[in-house]
Structure 1
Amino acid sequence: MSLERFEVARILLVDDEPAFRLLAERFLTQQGYQVSSAADLTQARQLLAKTPFDLLLLDLSLPPLFDPAATLTALPELNAQPVIILTGHADRELALQAISLGAWDFIAKPVDPDLLAVVVKRAISKHQLELELTKLKRQSSTPGALQTLVGVSRQMDTIRTLIQRIAPTEVRVLVTGPSGTGKEVISRALHQLSLRANGPFVSVHCGAIPADLLESELFGYMKGAFTGADKDRQGLLAMANGGTLFLDEIGEMPLPMQVKMLRVLQEGTYYPVGGREQKRIDVRLVSATNAVLPDLVAQGKFREDLYYRIKGITLETPALDDRREDIPLLIQHFLQQLAQAQPKGGAANQSLTLAVPALQWFLQRSWPGNVRELKNTLESVVAISQHGVVQLSDIELLHMDAGMPAQSNQLPGAAGGSPLSAAAGAELATGLSLDEQVRNLEISLLMSALQQSQGNRSQAARALGLSRQGLLKKIERYGLLDIGQQSD
């Protein structure tokens, strides 16, 4: 896994030899790390209290006692992970004792620079991936609204952070982005985390209501206002009073209605259709659109004054193809929803999973319809699947590839040979960054190894040159928990 997606790692080097500290610090800095150094445990404790480090390089023979056993005794209280022990006392008993106390590895002096580089890189990779996994677990356990914002991508992290900051305020929010990217989900999260959470959330699709009915739907009407108005009717604005009004696809709102909506936002008042008594309204406005509103303003199709009234803070939802690392988690999320929606009791109420080739199809495919298309596709294939497992044949039966560019559904290495040999012949998808290419290749190799081992994780780990624990961490990180669950 490339470390480029993480911030520069910080290393604390603790050694009493000035010459070694100087050379090691210079070498590790050239490797791309930020390095701080200390001459003894006292200095180390002071630095650890002020700064979080990604790795501790610790010499066992330190002043004032120069006693490796004493340094090992102090290891747990340093509360630093991971730790690599450096020592000239290269005996097996000390190494095992250090590891039993939580050290990551043990390197004997004189230190081989190449070995140091490899061990440090592995230890920091472990630490940073564990931090990311912890972050993911924390996000998945966040109560309420943020649980619906599924994903570990940078874009979703930004959206969650902004929602948490602006939700308690009264600032108006404009949610933009392609159709099907979850703009209403974001808007509901804003409401649920706001001070108006106990009030109503009223959603209005401005393009779904005919232009001549939109005013009466929003503002309500009085008896006799028009033919068929046989009694007073409360509008959606009044229903949203004290809560949040969500105007979806506001770019499709007719110009005459835009003028009246501007008055609502400026003065907090409106008149029901056919009414003469002014009504006051207290709502927070959240709007959404897949159109580029400044372009509509330039074309005279959207009022400039209304645009500046509604924009407040803009949240942009990314296309699914721009955050492909979230696809496995979204699949798992939707499968859990579909399983919960099944009839209670009997075989129908079972967990739902994707066979490896079917999952690979989902990961390889482009999603122009974004999250909505992904969810609808899952619903379709789950509906015809058998025994709770979606097979590639189910997808082919529904002709899901009709009109789509042909893509290979065979896993790399599935025809035979080591799964690692797939890297040599893997084709790179266009429009993806290096990190995304690496991620997709890792997922393919993981699934290929698990398929070849028939779900035996220990065998898959050996084929990939990983420890079993390392494989499990990657499986959890990529949301592949339902693959290879057999005991081994």
Structure 2
Amino acid sequence: MFNATTPHPARILIVDDEPAFRLLAERFLQQQGYQVAGAANLDDTRSKLQQFDADLILLDLALPPAFDPAATLAAVPEFSSRPVIILTGHAERELALQAIAQGAWDFIAKPIDPELLAVVVKRAITKHQLEKEVRQLKQGLQQQSFLPKLAGHSRHMETVRTLVQRIAPTEVRVLVTGPSGTGKEVISRALHELSPRADKAFVSVHCGAIPADLLESELFGYVKGAFTGADKDRQGLLKLADGGTLFLDEIGEMPLPMQVKLLRVLQEGTFYPVGGREQQKIDIRLVSATNANLPDLVKQGKFREDLYYRIKGVTIETVALDERREDIPLLIQFFLEQLSVQYGQKLQLESAAISWFLQKHWPGNVRELKNTLESVAAIAQQGVIRLADIQLLHLEHQTRETDPELEPGADLSSLDEQVKALEIRLIQQAMVQCHGNKSQASRALGISRQGLLKKIERYGLTELGDD
């Protein structure tokens, strides 16, 4: 075993049609501490890999039934999720170099020097294990950076985060439903960024924003001369998403003729550019979103039933912000942190402004909340967003029209509790981030140290910190 963190000895698959060679190589590599299995041809290799998750493949270039090196070369990319070492005769050196261009790790000429084999194999296994660790670390960092964007303490948001974490590493198709402005694209991007496809493209297509007569050429691309104005070949969005994630926003607005063509893409993984005769293959992970009720559209004949069942896979439902109002304080904090970086200064809300945000009705959901904060932050002075800034933008009048709870004389006791809860949460988070140092925490919160001490005493948080 070459890495103490590896849960099992590294696994090697030897692919060679000579039983005697396989037996000798297996014994030698087992003595080096590896688990070893053998295969005689490419079909046997594919079958073995379903049960034996090899960390490395030793692959002979000339395999039955045709003993055609070109067929082996063509298969190298299929196996290249782990290192592939080509076994070749001296006369096949050029072919071995082609294999490396196809994604093979290295090649060894026959007859094989055991010491050279041991060195090359160990080097390839070490590289493979390091790459796996880097991928795991990268995924962990991506989770840290993307999961906070799915902000909220509500039971609903806890469910969404759990689903995203569990589904993201898989290939299952996902349908995100819910009202506009509730973060459907944020969820879709998180699914991509936390997936093995994160280093490939995330391509977003709003199915209702592209005219129906242009949608096909935008998705599939076109060849020169396909129609008037097509003066050169153009790659479509499907091809741009190859290897990555295709996000179809508001898929319920996709015209029926395009639904038929999309269904074929999902069934076969192939498509033809507009005006083209050469079939193109793609490998995409599909995430769709809609604010419409697709089952109702199916009943009305506006959405294909077979496509609906193709895209739904796992459904993640978002809800209106007014249905998870307990998440508003954390969303405010999250957006303020982003805006603070943008403006190069710590931004905060005065108590009256916090009250306004917590009390307001948000028909535009999270998108409206974010846009409102951006608007008032742009005119704030000395880093403090005040109720007067909101009134200056004529937002106060709009709120009183739509939210009678803000009329004079309204009961604000529940509001006071929300403000208190927000302050406690901010203090606790600042103290954790500053490792209990009250001076650093007060600076992070934008208040004096004495002011922080008074709040800690007022809220009974005396267990926080020791400085």
| Structure 1 residue 380, shift from structure 2 partner | 0.7
The answer on whether the counterparts of 2:142 and 2:194 sit within 8 Å (CA) in structure 1 is no
> What is the SS of the residue equivalent to 1:296?
helix
One of 356, 378, 381 as aligned partner of 2:373: 378
Q: How does 1:2-401 map to 2 (within 5 A)?
A: 142-342=143-343, 349-400=344-395, 401=397
Q: Tell me, in whole angstroms, the C-alpha distance in 2 between the residues paired with 1:326 and 1:357.
A: 19
Q: Which residue is equivalent to 2:411?
A: 426
| Structure 1 residue 298, shift from structure 2 partner | 0.9
Q: Tell me, in whole angstroms, the C-alpha distance in 2 between the residues paired with 1:397 and 1:271.
A: 55
Q: Tell me, in whole angstroms, the C-alpha distance in 1 between the residues paired with 2:275 and 2:186.
A: 35
Q: Tell me, in whole angstroms, the C-alpha distance in 2 between the residues paired with 1:226 and 1:265.
A: 26
Pick closer, same or farther for the CA change 1:385–1:166 going to 2, 3 Å: same
Pick closer, same or farther for the CA change 1:293–1:386 going to 2, 3 Å: same
The answer on whether the counterparts of 2:242 and 2:284 sit within 8 Å (CA) in structure 1 is yes
Q: Give the AA of the match of 1:408.
A: L
Deviation digits for residues 324-376 of structure 1 (CA, Å, limit 9, x no counterpart): 1111111111111112122xxxxxx2111111100110000111111000000
Pick closer, same or farther for the CA change 1:282–1:445 going to 2, 3 Å: closer
> What is the SS of the residue equivalent to 1:223?
coil
Q: Tell me, in whole angstroms, the C-alpha distance in 1 between the residues paired with 2:455 and 2:340.
A: 28
Q: Tell me, in whole angstroms, the C-alpha distance in 1 between the residues paired with 2:333 and 2:422.
A: 15
| Structure 1 residue 159, shift from structure 2 partner | 0.9
Please say which of residues 394-403 and 261-270 is displaced more in the overlay.
394-403
| Structure 1 residue 199, shift from structure 2 partner | 1.2
Q: Give the AA of the match of 1:363.
A: L
Higher helix share: 2
| Structure 1 residue 319, shift from structure 2 partner | 1.3
Pick closer, same or farther for the CA change 1:233–1:407 going to 2, 3 Å: same
Q: Tell me, in whole angstroms, the C-alpha distance in 2 between the residues paired with 1:140 and 1:166.
A: 17
Question: Among the aligned pairs, what percent are the same residue?
Answer: 66
Q: TM-score, normalised by structure 1?
A: 0.57
Q: Which residue is equivalent to 2:441?
A: none
- Across the aligned residues of Structure 1 and Structure 2, the Cα RMSD in angstroms comes to 2.9
Pick closer, same or farther for the CA change 1:426–1:459 going to 2, 3 Å: farther
Q: Which residue is equivalent to 1:469?
A: 462
Q: Tell me, in whole angstroms, the C-alpha distance in 2 between the residues paired with 1:261 and 1:140.
A: 34
> What is the SS of the residue equivalent to 1:337?
helix
| Structure 1 residue 197, shift from structure 2 partner | 1.3
Which consecutive segments of 4 or more residues in structure 1 shift more than 6 A?
A: 446-450
| Structure 1 residue 281, shift from structure 2 partner | 1.1
Pick closer, same or farther for the CA change 1:409–1:338 going to 2, 3 Å: farther
Q: Tell me, in whole angstroms, the C-alpha distance in 1 between the residues paired with 2:423 and 2:146.
A: 36
The answer on whether the counterparts of 1:457 and 1:468 sit within 8 Å (CA) in structure 2 is no
Q: How does 1:447-466 map to 2 (within 5 A)?
A: 456=451, 459=454, 466=459
| Structure 1 residue 404, shift from structure 2 partner | 2.2
Q: Which residue is equivalent to 1:75?
A: none
Q: Tell me, in whole angstroms, the C-alpha distance in 1 between the residues paired with 2:281 and 2:190.
A: 26
Pick closer, same or farther for the CA change 1:427–1:336 going to 2, 3 Å: closer
Deviation digits for residues 188-235 of structure 1 (CA, Å, limit 9, x no counterpart): 111111121111110000011111000000000000111110000000
Deviation digits for residues 29-72 of structure 1 (CA, Å, limit 9, x no counterpart): xxxxxxxxxxxxxxxxxxxxxxxxxxxxxxxxxxxxxxxxxxxx
Pick closer, same or farther for the CA change 1:338–1:140 going to 2, 3 Å: farther
Q: Give the AA of the match of 1:315.
A: I
Aligned length: 302
Q: Tell me, in whole angstroms, the C-alpha distance in 2 between the residues paired with 1:329 and 1:176.
A: 22
Q: Give the AA of the match of 1:370.
A: N
Q: Tell me, in whole angstroms, the C-alpha distance in 1 between the residues paired with 2:141 and 2:221.
A: 41
For structure 2, which runs of at least 5 residues remain unmatched after alignment? 1-139, 428-446
Deviation digits for residues 456-482 of structure 1 (CA, Å, limit 9, x no counterpart): 4555566x6x42437x79xxxxxxxxx
Q: Which residue is equivalent to 2:417?
A: 442
